[in-house]
Amino acid sequence: MDYLIFSLLGLIFGSFFNVVINRLPYGKSIVFPGSACPKCGQEVRWYDNIPVISYILLNGRCRNCGLKISFQYPFVEIITAVITVWLYVKYGMSILFVKYFILCGLLLCAGIIDLNTALDDNFETGIIPDELSLGGIPVGLIFGFIEKSLLISIIGGIIGFLLLFIPGFVYKLVTGKEGMGGGDIKLFAMIGTFLGYKPLFFILFISSFLGAVIGLFFIHIYKRRDYPIPFGPFISLASIIYIFYGEEIIQSYLKMIL
What is the binding site for Zn ion (CB under 5 A)?
A: 37, 39-40, 42, 62, 64-65, 67
* Tally of residues, the chain: 258
Closest CB to Zn ion among residues 67, 249: 67
3-state secondary structure 36-95: ECCCCCCECCHHHCCCCHHHHHCCCECCCCCCECCCHHHHHHHHHHHHHHHHHHHHCCCH
- Minimum Å distance from CB 45 to Zn ion? 12
Q: Bridge partners of 36?
A: 43
Min separation Cβ 182 and Zn ion, Å: 36
The minimum distance between CB 34 and Zn ion, in angstroms, equals: 14
- Considering beta carbons, is residue 52 or 67 the nearer one to Zn ion? 67
Task: Kindly state the smallest distance separating residue 40's Cβ from Zn ion, in Å.
Answer: 3
Shorter beta-carbon distance to Zn ion: residue 39 or 45: 39
Shortest spacing between CB 76 and Zn ion, in angstroms: 20
Q: Which is nearer to Zn ion, 40 or 89 (CB)?
A: 40
Identity of the residue, 68 or 172, whose beta carbon is nearer to Zn ion in the bound complex: 68
Burial of 81 (0-12, 13-18, 19+ CB in 10 A): buried
For 13, list phi and psi in degrees, rounded to 5: -65, -35
Cα dihedral across residues 172, 118, 29, 193: positive or negative: negative
- 85/92 Cα distance (integer angstroms): 10
